[in-house]
Amino acid sequence: MTFKTEAFVLKTKAFKDADRLYYLFTPSEGMVTAVLKSAAKSGSKLAGHLPVFAKVRVMIGRGKIDHLAGVELVEDFPNLRSDLKNLALASSIAEIFLNDFSFGQKQAEFKLLNEVLFLLNNETLEPGAKLLLVRAFLWKFLALSGFSLPTFSISKTLLQLIQEILKQPLVEVLNFSLSKELNKEWLQASQIYYQEVYDRPSQALKLFVYG
């Protein structure tokens, strides 16, 4: 049995011989892993259409190990791979998806992923703005995944900020004005919230301190 779906390529790694395993986030099934035969060989036509962080349309064959039977590149985000800061931020987004095992709203998560990668790929945005986007993404993603707001105490000002973030498109974060104190509290709350949800700290959240 095979099925077609759009997907984002979040990770790839070597598999058997010249094969590669691809970690794909889809709007219907969430995370799917599928192998591409002979992907590491220079003559592989499909592998060239599967760059990390790209949006693709794939045909997946079901089996003991799912396999990629067809690939079409829908939208690439090349700046996410060519700029080290962008790469680090995009990798932090991928880490959140790869570590998540909730049964949230996958279609909405797919749309949010598309939005954040599009913004991070934008060369005109400053690194500090992109860091805030990634931090806001965390809160929106966890809300979509079904998690309640944190149980620990936060200020009324931060609570209002988070509520605004959850209501508005991600891009609106770029219009917010944050004091140094509020930014620091938001950083600390993000770190605690992640650990409260996933029961472990996030390496990616270390990046957020610079926002």
How many other C-beta atoms can be found within 10 angstroms of the C-beta atom of residue 126? 9
Q: Within this chain, do residues 38 and 13 fall inside the same structural domain, yes or no?
A: yes
Strand ranges for the chain from DSSP E: 2-14, 20-26, 30-36, 55-61, 67-75
Over residues 147-174, the pLDDT tens digits come to 888 778 899 999 999 999 999 999 999 9
What whole-number distance in Å separates Cα of residue 35 and Cα of residue 21? 4
In the listed set 43, 75, 107, which residue is the last one of a domain according to the structure? 75
Are 50 and 132 in the same domain? no
**Distance in angstroms (rounded) separating the CA atoms of residues 16 and 52:** 20
CA distance 18 to 136: 39
Residue range of the domain that includes 104: 79-210
State the chain's mean pLDDT as an integer. 88
- Note the pLDDT tens digit of each residue in 28-39: 989 999 988 876
- Chosen domain end from 12, 42, 75: 75
Tokens 């609570």 correspond to 159
Examine the domain organization and report whether 101 and 180 are in the same domain: yes
CATH number, domain with residue 57: 2.40.50.140
Same domain, yes or no: 178 and 113: yes
In a shared domain, residues 110 and 151: yes
DSSP letter assigned to residue 64: S
Query: What pLDDT is attached to residue 64?
Result: 86
Q: Looking up tokens 């809160």, which residue turns up?
A: 139
Q: Which of 50, 75, 100 is the last residue of a domain?
A: 75
Same domain, 119 and 59: no
**Cα torsion 172, 177, 136, 84: sign:** positive
Whether 63 and 145 map to the same domain: the answer is: no
Same domain, 182 and 121: yes
Q: Quick check: helix, strand or coil at residue 57?
A: strand
Q: Tokens standing for 98?
A: 């790869």
Do residues 174 and 202 share a domain? yes
Query: Do 199 and 106 lie in a common domain?
Result: yes
Q: Is the dihedral of CA 35, 37, 41, 42 positive or negative?
A: negative
> Are 9 and 69 part of one and the same domain?
yes
pLDDT, tens digit only, all 211 positions of the chain: 888 999 999 999 888 887 889 999 999 989 999 988 876 665 566 767 789 999 999 999 998 889 888 899 999 999 999 998 899 899 989 988 988 877 778 999 999 999 999 999 999 999 989 999 999 999 999 999 888 887 788 999 999 999 999 999 999 999 999 999 999 999 889 888 888 887 776 665 555 554 4
Position 202 scores a pLDDT of: 64
| Angle, in degrees to the nearest 10, between helices 180-198 and 156-167 | 70
Q: Tokens standing for 65?
A: 């190990």
Q: What is the pLDDT of residue 211?
A: 47
Crossing angle, helix 156-167 and helix 127-144, to 10 degrees?
80
Q: What is the DSSP letter of 61?
A: E
- Residue 113: the pLDDT is 97
d(CA 184, CA 205): 13
Number of domain units in the chain: 2
Q: Taking the model in full, what pTM does it have?
A: 0.90
Residues 119 and 176 in one domain: yes
